[in-house]
């Protein structure tokens, strides 16, 4: 098979041709949510990039197995071993047990997931269901001489692994001299990390299991190493997450996995850039975040957020503003009404693409195969729709095919359902006032503003009526 896809590999900092390890089968592991709080739209920027990756590889003809974990134990407030368990923080805040908190936020997470039309991963695995695999992995590391036991915890000894930190290009010496005063006096090196905690660290830990090192709970990093290898085999093709995971979480996952299997682990590492707000990282810990329901309450459709995320490359920052969100909603409305008009014109989508249509299909594929260039792919969609020579049947076939990758739900856009955005509503309200005061000039200006958003206003005996332009 020809392998048409190129992806940026964080490990080599280069665009590389993507060739799966085993024929056409591809294994992908994505770090999932920590379920102690709501997932914000920044988290979903990363999940949307991963969904685009899976859809693109399927579009290229690969059989993808997509695995995602649910972190329901072990993630401390700091990415290293500092701070409290995130679950404990939530328990205090909400007066619930850890299990109730994890269940509540997992359910909420998948509600948003489905609203954004993300495909469910082939495997969703909870950390608490895989403690056995984590213990076995830690035992392998112990057998390979890469661990030490101190103060009741089992640590990974980073100095024992010659290429520790290769993903983030860390320098162990610099890390040591630059480290803040270490709160955990048991560590031999500040970058060492815990594989297994026993009660000694947090007395209130509710989730605990028996282990060879005493009753306790796993470190965060070991869960992803153990579960990914359990479902995808010891070596697999792609591991994804947000860029915040590069220096600690993914670095430590590589150390554990390669320390255990004693050979290279994952071929491609892919990372999504941050969603920002006021030019700072959107994050739960600072309270500076927006959830999907906030957008819905403001009158936006979940698909408009998907559209917004697709309007920038996954390796670019996306700074959230209401204006950008409004633009995305307007573009989505335009796309929807184009598809609805195509359906009115064409009896059915063409069963075979003409030579002219194939050119657009090739442009679209070339864009997504080029490191998931969604903005360029979207431009190909608009060009096809705007081509006056292309018959409606051909356009419809193209758009429905493109949407297998974009995932905006075009197959459901069948009837004219008018979505009145807050911006359009404001225009209608102002125009109502202008008409009542017989200010025809202002009324005409507002009619033009509505047209710019893709809507025609018609005056009738019962008031203003709108339709798509
Ligand atoms: P968490 O629940 O914090 O472990 O995050 C779930 C996923 O969202 C991980 O892949 C993170 O790297 C990613 N993530 C966290 N914050 C952001 C952000 N502001 N923008 C994009 N992705 C993020
Ligand atoms: Zn992970």
Q: Which atom of ligand 1 is nearest to the CA of 75?
A: 4
Least confident of 111-120, 182-191, 346-355: 182-191
Q: Is the CB of 69 under 6 A from ligand 1?
A: no
Percentage of residues in the chain having pLDDT higher than 90: 73
Query: Among 168-172, 225-229, 417-421, 428-432, which range has the highest average pLDDT?
Result: 225-229
β partners of residue 275: 318
**Of 46, 85, 168, best ligand 1 pocket probe by most atoms within 8 Å of the beta carbon:** 46
Q: Is 326 in the pocket of ligand 1 (CB under 6 A)?
A: no
Q: Does residue 360 register a pLDDT over 90? A: yes
- Under the banding of pLDDT at 50, 70 and 90, the label for residue 211 is very high
Share above pLDDT 70 across residues of the chain, in percent, rounded to a whole number: 92
- So what's the pLDDT on residue 149? 96
Mean pLDDT (whole number) for 441-466: 83
45 and 151 share one domain? yes
Residues 33 and 154 in one domain: yes
**Which two structure tokens, joined as six digits, stand for 4?**
């048409």
Instruction: Band the pLDDT of 172: cuts 50, 70, 90.
Output: confident
**pLDDT tens-place string over residues 126-163:** 999 999 999 999 999 999 999 999 998 999 999 999 99
Cβ–ligand 1 distance for 244 under 6 Å, the answer yes
User: What's the whole-number mean pLDDT along residues 424-440?
Assistant: 89
43 lines ligand 1 (CB under 6 A): yes
**C-alpha 113 to ligand 1 mean position (Å):** 14
Residue 47 lies in a domain: yes
> Among the three residues 392, 412, 432, which one is the final residue of a domain in this structure?
412
Q: Give the closest residue to 468 by CA, choosing from 455, 450, 451.
A: 455
Residue 419 pLDDT greater than 80, yes or no: no
Residue with CA nearest ligand 1 atom 5? 33
CB atoms within 10 A of CB 91: 18
CB neighbour list of residue 340: distance below 8 Å, 6 or more residues apart: 413, 414, 415, 416, 468
In this structure, is residue 6 part of a structural domain? no
Mean pLDDT of 249-267: 98
pLDDT of residue 1: 78
Q: What is the dihedral of CA 76, 77, 80, 82, to 10 degrees?
A: -90
Q: How far is the CA of 445 from the centre of ligand 1 (A)?
A: 43
User: What is the Cα–Cα distance from 90 to 87, expressed in whole angstroms?
Assistant: 5
Specify if 2 maps to a domain.
no
pLDDT at 169 over 90: yes
We report the CATH number of the domain holding residue 163 as: 3.40.50.620
Do 262 and 284 belong to one domain?
no
* 365 part of a folded domain: yes
Query: What band does 278 get if pLDDT is binned at 50, 70 and 90?
Result: confident
Range of the domain at 407: 280-412
Closest ligand to the CA of 290: 1
User: Is there a single domain that holds both residue 124 and residue 224?
Assistant: yes
The more confidently predicted of residues 89 and 20 is 20
Measured in whole angstroms, the distance separating CA 448 from the mean position of its chain's CA atoms is 38
Q: Residue 445: inside a domain, yes or no?
A: yes
The pLDDT of 62-77, averaged and rounded, is 86
**309 assigned to some structural domain:** yes
Res. 199: pLDDT tops 70: no
| Residues 58-65, mean pLDDT to the nearest whole number | 98
> What stretch of H or E contains 9?
strand 6-9
Atom from ligand 1 closest to the CA of residue 240: 10
| Residues 427 and 404 occupy one common structural domain | no
Residues 210, 89 within the same domain: yes
Distance from the alpha carbon of residue 195 to the mean position of ligand 1, in angstroms = 22
The bound ligand whose nearest atom lies closest to the alpha carbon of 250 is 2
Calculate how far, in angstroms, residue 89's C-alpha sits from the geometric centre of ligand 2: 20
Looking at the structure, tell me whether residues 41 and 151 fall in a common domain. Answer: yes
Task: Judge if 250 and 308 occupy the same domain.
Answer: no
Q: Does the pLDDT value for residue 46 go beyond 70?
A: yes
- The rounded Å distance from CA 73 to ligand 1 centre is 17
- pLDDT score for 37: 87
Q: Which pLDDT band, with edges at 50, 70 and 90, does 309 fall under?
A: very high
pLDDT exceeds cutoff 80 at 465: no
Q: Are residues 375 and 442 in the same domain?
A: no
Closest ligand, as measured to the CA of 271? 1
Q: Tell me which ligand sits closest to the C-alpha of residue 243.
A: 1
What mean pLDDT comes out for the span 374-394? 98
259/312 same-domain check: no
Q: Which atom of ligand 1 has the smallest separation from the CA of 35?
A: 2
- Check pLDDT > 70 for residue 77: no
273 CA distance to ligand 2 middle (Å): 16
Q: Is the pLDDT of residue 79 over 60?
A: no
Tell me whether residue 464 is in a domain: yes
Judged against a pLDDT cut of 60, whether residue 181 lies above it is answered with no
Q: Could you tell me the distance, in angstroms and rounded to a whole number, from the CA of residue 366 to the centre of ligand 2?
A: 30
Residue 12 burial by Cβ neighbours in a 10 Å radius (0-12, 13-18, 19+): exposed
Residues 177 and 119 in one domain: yes
> Ligand 1: distance of its center to the CA of 421 in Å?
29
Lowest mean pLDDT, pick from 62-71, 193-202, 264-273, 317-326: 193-202
Q: Tokens 């379920």 sit at which residue?
A: 35
Q: How much is the mean pLDDT over the chain? A: 91
Beta partners for residue 464, in sequence order: 459
Model confidence band, residue 175 (pLDDT cutoffs 50, 70, 90): confident
Pick the last residue of a domain from 233, 249, 272: 272
CB 65 within 8 A of CB 121: no
Looking at the CA of residue 46, tell me the nearest atom of ligand 1.
22
What pLDDT is recorded for position 466? 75
260 backbone dihedrals φ, ψ, rounded to 5°: -80, -50
Q: Is residue 33 lining ligand 1, measured as CB closer than 6 Å?
A: yes
| Structural domains of the chain, count | 3
Are residues 437 and 353 part of one domain? no
CATH number, domain with residue 314: 1.10.730.10
Neighbours of 226 (CB within 10 A): 27
List pLDDT tens digits, range 335-357. 999 999 999 899 899 999 999 99
């Amino acid at each position: 098979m020809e392998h048409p896809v190129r992806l940026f590999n964080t490990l080599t900092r280069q665009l590389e041709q993507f060739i799966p390890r085993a024929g056409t089968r591809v294994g992908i592991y994505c770090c999932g949510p920590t379920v102690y709080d709501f997932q914000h739209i920044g988290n979903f920027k990363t999940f949307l990039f991963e969904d685009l990756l899976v859809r693109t590889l399927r579009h290229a003809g690969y059989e993808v197995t997509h695995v995602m974990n649910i972190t329901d134990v072990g993630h401390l407030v700091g990415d290293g071993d500092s701070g409290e368990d995130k679950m404990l923080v939530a328990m205090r805040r909400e007066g619930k047990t850890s299990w109730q908190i994890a269940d509540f936020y997992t359910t909420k997470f998948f509600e948003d997931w489905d609203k954004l039309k993300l495909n469910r991963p082939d495997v969703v695995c909870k950390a608490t269901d895989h403690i056995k695999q984590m213990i076995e992995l830690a035992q392998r590391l112990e057998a390979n001489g890469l661990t030490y036991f101190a103060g009741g915890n089992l640590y990974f000894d980073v100095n024992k692994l010659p290429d520790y930190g290769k993903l983030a290009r860390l320098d162990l010496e610099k890390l040591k001299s630059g480290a803040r005063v270490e709160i955990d006096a048991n560590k031999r090196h500040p970058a060492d990390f815990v594989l297994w905690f026993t009660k000694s660290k947090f007395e209130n830990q509710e989730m605990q299991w028996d282990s060879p090192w005493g009753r306790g709970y796993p470190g965060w990093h070991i869960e992803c190493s153990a579960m990914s290898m359990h479902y995808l085999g010891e070596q697999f093709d792609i591991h994804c997450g947000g860029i915040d995971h590069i220096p600690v979480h993914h670095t430590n996952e590589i150390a554990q996995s390669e320390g255990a299997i004693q050979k290279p682990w994952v071929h491609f590492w892919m990372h999504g850039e941050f969603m920002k707000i006021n030019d700072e990282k959107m994050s739960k810990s600072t309270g500076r975040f927006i959830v999907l329901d906030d957008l819905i309450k403001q009158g936006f459709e979940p698909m408009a957020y998907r559209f917004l995320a697709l309007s920038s490359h996954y390796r670019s920052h996306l700074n959230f503003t209401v204006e950008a969100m409004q633009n995305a909603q307007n573009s989505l409305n335009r796309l929807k009404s184009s598809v609805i008009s195509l359906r009115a014109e064409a009896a059915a989508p063409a069963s075979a693409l003409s030579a002219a249509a194939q050119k657009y299909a090739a442009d679209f594929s070339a864009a997504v195969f080029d490191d998931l260039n969604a903005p360029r792919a979207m431009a190909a969609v608009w060009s096809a729709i705007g081509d006056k020579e292309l018959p409606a049947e051909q356009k419809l076939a193209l758009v429905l095919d493109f949407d297998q990758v974009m995932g905006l739900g075009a197959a459901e856009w069948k009837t004219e359902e008018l979505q009145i955005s807050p911006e359009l509503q404001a225009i209608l309200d102002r125009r109502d006032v202008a008409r009542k005061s017989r200010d025809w000039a202002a009324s005409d200006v507002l009619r033009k503003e509505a047209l710019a958003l893709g809507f025609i206003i018609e005056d009738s005996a019962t008031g203003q009526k709108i339709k798509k332009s």
